[in-house]
Chain A
């Protein structure tokens, strides 16, 4: 298993990369390589040109802007994210999810932009980005634009970006201090893609009841699935039986079926894991369970 022949380019700036991408018909962007390299080795991908983004330093950063948003460069490695103080302090959901992303050796290379653009249905980082209502920033020679993460998946493993566009960063507003976050998944082996994963963010009001909730499932459909029914059902509640009823709405979702699990099993996992994640996030938010 060896990659097919291709022209290799390693631009040093985003402008150079955009110019190259605009001028080639069948080019692939090489980010961390933890998904594209297997596809090249197995010749599932046969691009004429490989544009390696690894030497573009301007795409690798984690910033906390003056406006209070967190910005992550597309080529920031998963390992760097997990080690970043601002992510640790302000976005515990991402930290918890990163522990499930592959293995240390793949996180040392894999990037957030690569995870988002590869868009594996069971990948953790797209679920996190959706739960955070992140904005995806893309650029081409024609200009820059942004997409809400909710609009980013076009269909199965395909982001809604044009062939001449590069994802340059994601940004999001961190949830306020004191919010509760939980990322829970079931995989056959630690580090495998999840069969089902769930991300939960909860914010409590002064009265101890939930006044804002974000609940997103991964592994059940072609892209991350926002569970509006669960969010609505928990808002205003104080845990307890409300969580059980809320999680039960996952029994209604249209879960996919593949070699790893049936749709019925995925619905079951979605319900159980969502319930667990709600409980954990609520406790972490300092919530006191109603009877």
Chain B
């Protein structure tokens, strides 16, 4: 029994049309069907947060959605963060500068979780950052560098916003 459906979605601004088995998760669709392997799969049951992406601007676990549920949606993944010329997103730069990653496995989920969080809370306290990241597991860093990077990025993004206005 293989049941497929035709779906259409926008990923990082690029429109994709594909025919996909209905039981395939959105995470596997991104990785296997679209070749976007920046989204990582750790636990595949919603605990580790590594596969976090944005669906219509809201953070979601891509292992807990079916690809067919994203039909018509706008998806953002870690591949879309840096500029076309390779300039890192301020959050990525802050992770680099603050040693916010070691093995890098959890990083895409950390970044996408923080993108949404910093949008709604541009000036968070350390406690708020830790609470926001409580759904993302990192087994290397002990979180210190990640929290420092998030706070640093928030400051950079605020400065950038002031510069633009």
A positions within 8 Å CB-CB of B: 1-8, 10, 33-34, 37-38, 40-42, 50, 52, 54, 79, 102-106, 108-109, 189-191
Q: With A5-B3, A7-B3, A8-B3 known to touch, is A191 a contact of B25 (CB < 8 Å)?
A: no
A37 CB contact (under 8 Å) in B46, B55, B131? B46
Report the bound CA distance from A207 to B134 in whole Å.
44
Chain A residues with CB below 8 A from B24, complex form: 2
The answer to whether A34 touches B113, judged by C-beta atoms less than 8 angstroms apart, is: no
CB distance from B62 to the nearest CB of A (A): 10
B52 interfacial contact with A, CB 8 Å: yes
B59/A104 in contact, CB under 8 A: yes
Q: Is the CB of A41 within 8 A of B22?
A: no
Tell me whether A105 and B23 are in contact (CB under 8 A): no
CA distance A8 to B63 in the complex (A): 17
Using a CB-CB cutoff of 8 Å, which residues 1-60 of chain B contact chain A? 1-3, 5, 22-25, 28, 44-46, 49, 52, 55, 58-60
4 tightest CB-CB pairs across the interface, nearest first? A103-B135, A38-B45, A8-B22, A37-B64
B66 contacts chain A at the CB level, 8 A cutoff: yes
Known: A108-B59, A190-B134; 16 extra A-B contacts, CB below 8 A, are A1-B44, A3-B23, A3-B25, A5-B23, A8-B3, A34-B64, A37-B25, A38-B64, A41-B45, A41-B63, A42-B45, A104-B116, A105-B49, A106-B46, A190-B130, A190-B131
Which A residues lie within 8 Å of B64 (CB)?
33-34, 37-38, 106, 109
Contacts of A190 in B (CB 8 A): 130-131, 134
Q: Are A105 and B25 in contact (CB under 8 A)?
A: no
Asked if B45 and A1 make an inter-chain contact with CB atoms under 8 angstroms apart, the answer reads: yes
Size category of the B interface is: 20 to 34
Chain B interface, DSSP helix/strand/loop, else mixed? mixed
Q: Which of B44, B69, B113 contacts A105, CB < 8 Å?
A: B113
Complex Cα distance A190/B45, Å? 18
14 contacts between A and B (CB under 8 A): A1-B44, A2-B23, A3-B23, A6-B23, A7-B3, A7-B22, A34-B61, A37-B25, A37-B45, A38-B46, A105-B61, A106-B61, A106-B135, A108-B60
- Chain B's closest residue to A99 (CB) is B131
List A contacts of B117 (CB < 8 A).
104
Q: Smallest CB–CB gap between B98 and chain A, Å?
A: 22
Known: A1-B45, A34-B64. A8 touches B23 (CB 8 A): yes
User: Judging by beta carbons under 8 Å apart, are A41 and B44 in contact?
Assistant: yes
Taking a contact as CB atoms under 8 Å apart, the answer to whether B52 and A105 are in contact is yes
Interchain CA distance A52-B23 in the complex, whole Å = 12
Tell me whether B68 and A37 are in contact (CB under 8 A): no
Please name all residues of chain A whose beta carbon is closer than 8 Å to the beta carbon of B3 when the two chains form the complex.
5-8
Residues of A close to B61: CB separation below 8 A: 34, 105-106, 109
Q: Which of chain B's residues have a CB closer than 8 A to the CB of A34?
A: 46, 61, 64
Q: Report A-chain residues with C-beta under 8 Å of the C-beta of B134.
A: 103, 189-191
User: Does B65 lie at the interface of the complex (its beta carbon under 8 Å from any beta carbon of A)?
Assistant: yes
Residues of A within 8 A of B132 (CB): 104
List, in ascending order, chain B residues with CB within 8 A of A4's CB.
23
Task: Establish whether residues B63 and A109, one from each chain, have CB atoms under 8 Å apart when the complex forms.
Answer: no
Say whether A102 contacts B23, CB under 8 Å.
no
**Could you tell me the distance between the alpha carbons of A37 and B28 in the complex, rounded to whole angstroms?**
14
Distance in angstroms between the alpha carbons of A2 and B41 in the assembled complex: 12
Chain B 62-100 interface residues, beta-carbon cutoff 8 Å to A: 63-66, 68-69
Contact A6 B22 (CB under 8 A): yes
Distance to closest chain B CB from A287 (angstroms): 28
Q: How far is the CB of A134 from chain B (nearest CB, A)?
A: 26
A144 to B25 CA separation, bound complex (whole angstroms)? 34
What chain B residues lie within 8 Å of A10 (beta carbons)? 68-69
Please name the residue on chain B nearest to A40 by beta carbon: B23
